[in-house]
Structure 1
């Protein structure tokens, strides 16, 4: 996921602690955020959705299993079709004949559902690529704009607020911790709040 891609160590399931993960994300943002552009490409680029995170061998095994299911269902259907309608067949064969429609449904759904998902992802990824292309075109158009456009962009850039990175030492209250675990003593927080309230009210 996004945290592992950036080399952020994620706690294991047994040691899972949201506060610990949040502190690590804040530390990473503080280390990487200074002097690093938020969008290196000059625009927000969407990622294409992968069909699966499995490796090639696992995908091949899943596809082979789907073909085996279809082949087995077709072969079993050909055998069952040779039984005369009024024939007296054993109970096991009668049970197999009764569940055969469910076996066919399973074999077909095993192939059809991933296939439909693959086609939908292809269409979605084409739209994502089109949006990324539009963003690149607008980025290039803005970077190559005329004097009037450049002056407006410079004026807007001069008014933008710089990105503020909240470090651990800047935190005065953490909602994930109890009062006794707060970075600042609760009494100091209350006194500071009362002082600000008095200043607001003019007392």
Structure 2
């Protein structure tokens, strides 16, 4: 049995405008009512999981690709600090997809941390671990009690931001994922004719002060 675990599919919120034929939309949000939540910017990268001894994209058998070279080198510098059986999930931001970033803090943004029991740590614990590991997380757009009216009014610049992700502030089990995480994606998110993996790799831009080696 593999010790590596595929990241679950995130369901769209009922008011998310960009839902493709293979996406799933949640029909109600009652499981969020009364709960503390965290809303973060949805980064347009490649879903990636990091362990103490391995990395993979959403597919467990993801093959080598030049866009993953930087991530593998960087992972080797922090892998020894990831507890055995734990995994960091986030976005590999090296290659430009549909959103062209010019001011990233890093080529990896983490959004969740899972322990050896396959539980997603609370956001507070996740932030503590990310600080220890030197991992950046996406900008937080809202933290507080679930308020659907407020979430529906969240304003993002759809030219520069893919969308946002809602998660419970508390910890939750892997089997509770679809009741604990949901997303909103901008209309017509994919704006390229060719899949980014088949196109020429264009690195996203980094903050000058955070310049990281790209080769």
Does TM, scored on the shorter chain, surpass 0.5?
no
Q: What TM-score results when the alignment is normalised by the length of structure 1? A: 0.17
Higher relative CO (Cα under 8 Å, sequence separation at least 6) belongs to 2
Kindly name which structure, 1 or 2, has the bigger radius of gyration based on alpha carbons. Answer: 1
Write 1 or 2 for the structure with the bigger share of helix.
Answer: 1
Q: What TM-score results when the alignment is normalised by the length of structure 2? A: 0.16
Write 1 or 2 for the structure with the bigger share of strand.
Answer: 2
